[in-house]
Structure 1
Amino acid sequence: MDYAPFPLIELSGNAHERGLQHGRAVADRIKCGIAMYAESLVRNGVDWPELERRAEALLPTIEAFDAAYVEEMRGIARAADVPFAGIVLMNARTEMVVGARKAREPLLPDGCTAALALPEVTADGVLLHGQNWDWRAECAETGVLLRIRREDGPDILTFTEAGGLARSGLNSAGIGLTANALECDRDYQRGPGVPLPFIRRKVLESAFLAQAVRTVFATRKLGSNHMAVSHCGGEAFGLECAPDETFWLAPDRGLYVHANHWISDAARVKVKDTGLAETPCSIYRDRRVREQLSPDRGRLTLEHFRQAFFDDYASPWSVCRPPRPNNRGAMVATAAMILMRPGEGHLEACPMPALNRHFTSYRLTPDRTAQKQAAA
């Protein structure tokens, strides 16, 4: 079965102008995403007026982090002809939905299996970075690629849900980013905290790896998350984030893999992993990808990543998940596979890879001067 490629949207100008371009280009996808998450909130007793109240409550924190993000969201809402609260929902759906669920039912986090390979273990000495994104099956039809032309920093190529500001991707300075869900006993206990998509966008706006890492360490969050941040010059880190503390991990002999459970020794001592009961497959997903990539150290290519991410052991509880109902009846799946060569501005994306093997390549012109300066 073939799925339509994720559309590529060109964004430029100031924040509001970028939002207008985004909203005009994919209004239908934005409306589908808002309807999907709003329905999740309604099931948990949150009607639209309450959703608007929750969105307004988040605005001071978002504005303090970067007011331009609020302007961009307002532009998206205006051009797509949707309520502004709906665009906040698309950029803070975890924080808004989870906040509602806390009192009623356990969270089933999105999955994701991520990997990266440093230049010393790849076939052509180029850093590789990628992931499977496991979430609602409908998102195979609401995902988009944003190519953002900026005047005040590196250009960005990011995969996200329509209406979102960023999820995973790369920038022209050679920085790559992927993200995976985590859970712990500190989540959503107290605020304020910056919703994760804004942190990811800020990481992708960074000209230097140090700036990207600082953004993750210095920004308080509401819930846990893992981010893998890389630079084409040959450095990369995994950052396991609790709301108020971040634990870092380095690649092992040039290779790094992470799924949806805490793996750093410090984190496992200090936080209680509350997600494994819902995503027990995480324990073997990261191991299977690591074991498939490890024998080819020194020869690794994106094709090795592709085949590792296609692994279907124990399907549908597999690295590459076909659609299946979760414990609340929603259909979940590997909604997208993302493969990147950040230094070359190359990103490949495949919707619903368990059922569809058609990849589309997206390009961003690398800034070689900025890449060299960042690696100097």
Structure 2
Amino acid sequence: MTGYAPFPLIELSGPPRERGRQHGKAAADRLRRGAKMYAESLVKTGVDWKELERRAEAMVPTIDRFDPTYVEEMRGIAEGAGEPFAAVVLMNARTEMVAAARQQQATKHFPDGCTAALALPEASADGTLLHGQNWDWRAECAETGVILRIRRDDGPDILTFTEAGGLARSGLNSAGLGLTANALECDRDYKRGPGVPLPFIRRKVLESAHLAQAVQTIVSTPKLGSNHMAVSQATEDGAAEAFGFECAPDETFWVAPERGVYVHANHWIAESARTRVKDTGLAETPCSIYRDKRVRDQLASRRGQLTLDDLRTAFFDAWGSPWSVCRPPRPNTRGVLTATAAMILMRPGEGHLEACPMPALNRQFTTYSLTPDRTAQKQAAE
């Protein structure tokens, strides 16, 4: 079954404000639909548009301290799309804004899911780094996602999948670095501040020329809620390294691949993390424990022969449907229709990214590319 259009590719270049205008103009309809969807979620918690604007402006100083160019880029997106600035902030901080509103009502926040995996060169068939994920979230997001190809003068170029209006979600850069992200929850979430909304942290990671810079960003940046990020980098000499980072708002725990294979769903797996934080999300995403196991088992059985098609096959796993690795549209515990909205597959060292909207109902992948910067990859290897 098909019917889902490929995620549009949007080319961005120039200074931040101009990049934003290009983004907003090209993605205006998708941005408008996404912002309306999240604004309606906030209305249900008692946050009207005027209050949403107040909360968006209140976030600006924290974002500005982290990187003022991100505020400029968001203002450009708003200008290009002809939408309020608050709508763009919402697209970049919807998790934090919705979760804070629900917590004030003493109700539960239900984050996006995701199953991520990667294979280091030692585990792949041709000695190439492989990295990918299923993104589980609102079913409507299969029609609001975009691919941004960002040409930069001050660092690696970026190829990222994100919701329209967002600065980044998952992707790769020309220095061979790859990134995916999964939701986590713990008892420390949204109880302290200030914290930087996650899309800005992900964008900063994708701006990194070196894995060490990405790790520093993840570990040192305060967050409002928990999250997991898997970061990899392939260098010009064919070598690669990768780690997963389970982030509580105020503490980060790292996990290494096992014999070249790494898998993570939506529960805490680091032993150090499990002794220090209370997992408050597993009750709402119980399928996480076997999504992780099923993908891990499938990839481990092919260790040394893994290709992107093996990641693809593992991510299409339908056991336990609709509570499966590849999730068809189904209501979550709040009655919101959720699904695997996108499957992303990457060979970061080659600048290769494939994306498929709504993979449970659609098997059509589109390939997007970014020219690798071999000089940057060589410097990263030295």
TM-score by length of 1: 0.99
- Tell me the equivalent position of 1:66: 67
| Aligned with residue 218 of structure 1, among 217, 220, 233 | 220
Distance in 2, Cα, partners of 1:190 & 1:52: 21
Residue 345 of structure 2 corresponds to 339
Cα contact 1:131–1:309 (8 A) shared by 2: yes
| Contact 1:109 1:279 survives alignment (8 Å) | no
Give yes or no for contact 1:236–1:251 (8 Å, CA) kept in 2. Answer: yes
Taking the TM superposition and a 5 Å limit, the aligned residue runs for 1:194-213 are 194-213=196-215
| Alpha-carbon distance in structure 2 between the residues aligned to 1:108 and 1:370 | 39
Secondary structure of the corresponding residue to residue 90 of structure 2: helix
Matched, 1:243 2:249: yes
| Paired position in structure 1 for 2:170 | 168
Question: Aligned residue for 1:95?
Answer: 96
Aligned-residue offset at 1:103? 3.0
Among 260, 271, 280, the alignment partner of 1:254 is 260
Q: Which of these residues, 153, 161, 184, is aligned with residue 186 of structure 2?
A: 184
- Match of 2:275, SS state, is helix
Contact 1:109 1:278 in 2 (8 A): no
Which position in structure 2 is the counterpart of 1:78? 79
Q: 2:272 aligns with which of 266, 270, 275?
A: 266
State how many pairs are aligned. 376
Write the distance in 2 (CA, Å) between the matches of 1:66 and 1:193: 13
Task: Supply the distance in 2 between the matched residues of 1:234 and 1:157 (Cα, whole angstroms).
Answer: 19
Measure, in 1, the Cα distance between the counterparts of 2:54 and 2:333: 28
What residue is the counterpart of 2:147 in the other structure? 145
SS in 1 for 2:118: strand
Given candidates 358, 362, 366, the residue that maps to 1:356 is 362
Distance 2:266 2:135 in 1: 11
**Equivalent AA in structure 2 for residue 65 of structure 1:** F
Counterpart of 1:49 in structure 2 is 50
After superposition, the C-alpha distances for 1:16-74 in whole angstroms (9 at most, x for unaligned) are 00000000101000000000000000000000011011101110000000000000000
- Give SS of 1:102's match: helix
Other-structure match for 1:368:
374
Query: How far off its partner does 1:108 sit?
Result: 1.3
For the residue of structure 2 that corresponds to 1:270, the secondary structure is: coil
AA matched with 1:179: A
- The correspondence for 1:305, drawn from 294, 299, 311, is 311
1-structure distance, mates of 2:99, 2:41: 10
Moved over 6 A (4+): none
1:224-245 deviations in Å (ceiling 9; x for gaps): 0000000013100000000000
Distance 1:126 1:52 in 2: 46
State the distance in 2 between where 1:329 and 1:122 align.
40
Aligned counterpart for 2:240 among listed residues 194, 215, 234: 234
1-side partners of 2:288 and 2:74: how far apart? 33
The alignment status of 1:293 with 2:269, answered yes or no, reads no
Per-residue deviation, residues 243-271 of structure 1 (Å, max 9, x unmatched): 00000010000000000000000000000
Root-mean-square deviation (Å): 0.6
Q: State the SS of the aligned residue for 1:260.
A: coil
Q: Distance in 2 between matches of 1:262 and 1:13?
A: 40
Deviation at 1:294, TM superposition (A): 0.5
Residue type matched to 2:216 in 1?
R
Q: How big is the shift at 1:313?
A: 0.5
| Gap runs ≥5 in structure 2 | none
Question: C-alpha distance in 2, partners of 1:115/1:298?
Answer: 15
Q: Distance in 2 between matches of 1:13 and 1:95?
A: 29
Counterpart of 1:157, as a letter, is: L
The question of whether the paired residues in 2 share the 8 Å contact of 1:175 and 1:209 is answered with yes
Structure 1: how far apart are the matches of 2:369 and 2:193?
Answer: 38
Q: Which residue of 1 aligns with 2:322?
A: 316
